[in-house]
Amino acid sequence: MSRTIEAIKHHMGPTTPTPSVSSDKRPAIESGTFAIGGDLPVHRLGYGAMQLTGPGVWGEPADRGQAIAVLRRAVELGINLIDTADSYGPHVSEELIREALHPYPKGLVIATKAGLTRPGPGRWVPLGRPEYLRQECEMSLRRLGIECIDLFQLHRIDPKVPADDQVRALRDLQKEGKIRYVGLSEVNVAEIEAARRIVPIATVQNQYNLAYRDSEDVLDYCTHEKIGFIPWFPLATGDLAKPHGALAKIAKELGATPSQVALAWLLKKSPVMLPIPGTSKLKHLEENTAAALLNLDDSIMEELANT
């Protein structure tokens, strides 16, 4: 335990900034800390870089300058976990991250993924052949301008390729020092356990939000095993956010937005939860990050859980 604490201190510097600095200038710090793999600490509220690309997660953004500004502002707000993928654009998101932030500030963790190909806008096709995963890892290293990817995630398990072969490919890349930690995406508990027999799994990224909780068992497993859980599409709220819905009512009582309450709910739900809300707008980025300042009491958590 002491070694983990020392690793956090070395990686992130002081962990108890003054309230004015943490709350007013860098609100993401208030989301708490989780150590990916036990020794790679991040503030739990991160940023997802998918929406920085063009329509259908395809091509260049309409305003490249604004995309760069959003990435830089995210770091200013205390966010030090940025999630991307080779398929966002494709390649565009990773290229934007390098342009905006390289050389990367100390403590910034960039998580990327491979395993989905892009035939066109809005289209995603799994491809998990080991040689392809290796190729995409090498290309991500080059695009991001780094020698080792902090967190490399299998974007989907390709049903046409043995799952063990796909996981072994990531294990081999880890052994070669090209990736630090391995993550999975859209998996069930049995698939996580099978993968863990081959390589340690540091994170799982499944769809999860107030309106969609089908991965509750996966979240429980990750919480018990201290595996980071990255909920994608964290701001989907469905009917809950409608004017007379429970979420809208609670948000009004707290003087917050429904999105902020939805993120605060995720953060309190589990200590391994790592929400990565994405946006291409500075205003929305700042609003989302301010969710880390909300502290929902048990009665609110129960009310939202029962909606």
Determine contact, residues 159/153, Cβ cutoff 8 Å: no
Give burial (CB, 10 Å; 0-12/13-18/19+) of 124.
Answer: middle
Residues 6 or more apart in contact with residue 79 via CB below 8 angstroms: 28, 43, 45, 46, 47, 289
Residue (of 271, 187, 196) closest to 232 by Cα position: 187
- Three-state DSSP class for residue 111: strand
Q: How much of the chain is in helix, strand and coil states, percent to nearest 5?
A: 45, 15, 35
Residue (of 267, 268, 211, 302) closest to 46 by Cα position: 267
Is residue 132 annotated as part of the catalytic site, yes or no? no
Query: Which H helix or E strand runs over 261?
Result: helix 258-269
Of 47, 88, 181, 208, which residue is the catalytic one?
Answer: 88
Determine contact, residues 60/298, Cβ cutoff 8 Å: no
| CA pair distance 231, 228, nearest whole angstrom | 10
Q: Which residues are the active-site residues?
A: 88
